[in-house]
Each structure stands twice: as C-alpha cells, then as structure tokens.
Amino acid sequence: MTRLSARQRPAPDANADHDQAIEVSGLSKRYRDVDALVDASFTVNYGEVFGYLGRNGSGKTTTVRVLTTLTTPSAGAAQVAGNDVVTAPHAVRAAIGVTMQDAALDPQMTGREHLELVLALWGHTRSEARAQANELLTAFGLDQAASRLIGTYSGGMQRRLDLASALVNGPRVLFLDEPTTGLDAQSRRLVWSRVRELRDQGTAIFLTTQYLEEAEALADRLAILVNGRIVAEGAPDRLREEHGPTTLRIRLAAGQPAPPGFAPSSPDTWFEQPSPGTEDSLRALAQLRDAGVDLFAFQLNQPSLEDVFVALTGTTARASDR
C-alpha cells in the first residue's frame, strides 16, 4: 500500500514558476474493451477557465479521474501543476482541488464535521480545523446549516459544501466535474461567480459541463469531446469562426420573392444566406440596395456554441436542450 507522509508532500507553491497548469499529450484510457478517452492533448494556463464540453458518456469524467490521479492512463502523459499524474500523484493531489459529480458527501455527517475531517486530513490541528471550518461555512453561506446532517441539504448547498472542501488546501488547479448539473438557476449563478473569482485570483479551472450556456458564460477556452475524442479546441469565439456558419438575414416587405442567393427563412418575410465573412455580407447588402430591393431590416447572426456543437457532432449537446 502506498504510504503518504506529510514530509513527502512538497509545499503547494513548490512549482509556482511552472507556466502551464495542465499539460496533456496523447492521453488515452481504455476500460476493458471500451475506449473512454482517445489521444487527448491540450494545455490549461493559470488564471483560465478551460471548459470541457460533451454529452454524458463522452469521456469527461474519465479525463478528470486521470488528471486527478484517481485512475491511471492507458497511454500518454499528463502533468498537473508541474507534476506527472502517474509518477508523482501525491504532489499532484497536494496542488489540486476537486469536486466530482459522482463523489458523494457522507449524508450521515454534518457540514461542519465534514469540513473538520477534510481539514484534519490536510494536517491541521483540531483547533485550526475548527476555526477554518467556521470561516469556510460562513464564506459559503452554510453557517446556519453547519450542524445539520448533509443528507438534509439541498443540491445547491451540497455543491457549495463540496466546493468549500475543494478549496481547503488553497489549490492552484481546480477540477469541477459538472458543478452545476441539477442546480436551479440561482445556485448556478452563484457557482459561476465563485468560479470567476477564483480564476481572477490566478487559479486554473478545468470545468466539465454538458451545458452550452455554461461553457459560453465561463470558459476562456474549451474543448469539445465526442465519444472520447477531442473534436475541437480553442477560444469560444475562434470555434464559432471556424466551425459555426455565420448567417446574413434580411427582412423584406410581405409578398416579395427571394432575392438571388437568398433562401426563405422564418418568419416568412425573412430570407437568409450563409456569410463567409463581414465583407461578403456588406457586398451582398450593397447589391440588394443597388438592385432596388426594399430592405426593412438585416442581421448578421453569429453562430452559437450550440451551432458549433451541431456542426461538429451532428447532434445537440443534450437531448433536453431547448
């Protein structure tokens, strides 16, 4: 069995000069005959939210499990906070905070007991643990519920407690596995604002989600995962430019026929054409004006991440998405 002593663990800032928070190259994980993750490569910087977008079963959690040292990869290499996940798992664990969607809290413990246990395992004395647990409970709005069993907490409260316990060691890299799945809109916004605060403090955040709005709202860069393969990676704007169809839409008076190059759209006085770029759209509009077409309105529609996702995968991100 692996022994882990306080002495073996480096201080959390031992590798602070290392510029990349996460470096992954050719990472694969095979479970028996299933390829859960195939040849993934990406980097995540400090002070950045990296969105990891995919449907259920696309390999998001597998990636998190490998990067957080819970599972060993079948091939490839990954460094987190400057340490190899296979050869230096303890150093990785010392530098990271993790909230796992499928890592339950103990329903039979109170919120305070849970945080005190986590703090004590991180090496705090009993009185330090008590003091810091109280601070965290207050910071996360759980002080009223501190002495209640976690089993009685709402989903949002559990998520906040989970996030609080992930921050106990002052992690420089934070893994959030679907942190808002199943939360109401208010709790979701609360988690989002926490994530932004942490990013602004310089924390690297690896965030998996199946919500396109969430990736859109939070991610500085993102990767889209389909069946264990990363099919696109980059800043949301760049992905939109590269993969999403921008559309020029025009509105004419009722009963007008479609101008050349435009297809009917909805509602029925609207017509549209794909727009390769802004210049092309301006030229198309000028031609319409020159042809004497009476233009009521026009729009240049940026593709949403949803459009990018559909373009890349041929499916929507979630079956239940609007």
Partner 1 sequence: MTIHAAQPPRHATHRGGSTGWRKAIRDGALIYRRSLAQSLRAPVFAFLFPSAFPVLVLLLMSELYRDLANVPGFPAVSVAAWMTPGVFLMAAMFGAGYSATGLITDLQSGYLDRLRLLPISPAAILLGRLAFDVSRVAVAGLVVLAVGVLLGAEMTLTGLPVVLALLALWTLAYGGLFYAVGLRTRSPESLGALIPLFMPVTMLSTAFVPDALVPGWISTLSAVNPYTYLVEGVRMFTTGSFSFGELGLAVAAATAAMLVTQLAAMRSFASLVAGD
What does the binding site for partner 1 look like in residue numbers (CB under 8 A)? 1-7, 9-12, 31, 68-72, 90, 93-94, 96, 98, 100, 102-106, 108-109, 113, 117-124, 132, 135-136, 139-141, 149, 167-170, 194, 197-198, 201
Nearer to partner 1, 85 or 215 (CB): 85
* Whole-number Å distance between alpha carbons of 105 and 108: 9
DSSP string, 36-81: EEEEEEEEEETT-EEEEEE-TTSSHHHHHHHHTTSS--SEEEEEET
- Shortest Å, Cβ 140 to partner 1: 8
Would you call 315 exposed, middle or buried from its count of C-beta atoms within 10 A (0-12, 13-18, 19+)? exposed
DSSP string, 69-91: TSS--SEEEEEETTEETTT-HHH
Structure-block tokens of residue 268: 């029925």
Give the residues across from 50 on adjacent strands: 206, 221
Nearer to partner 1, 63 or 246 (CB): 63
- Shortest Å, Cβ 106 to partner 1: 6
- Shortest Å, Cβ 26 to partner 1: 19
Nearest C-alpha neighbor of 101 from the set 148, 43, 62? 62
Opening angle at CA 207, ends 205 and 213, nearest 5: 125
- Shortest Å, Cβ 124 to partner 1: 5
Nearer to partner 1, 66 or 212 (CB): 66
Nearer to partner 1, 198 or 284 (CB): 198
Nearer to partner 1, 162 or 214 (CB): 162
- Shortest Å, Cβ 102 to partner 1: 5
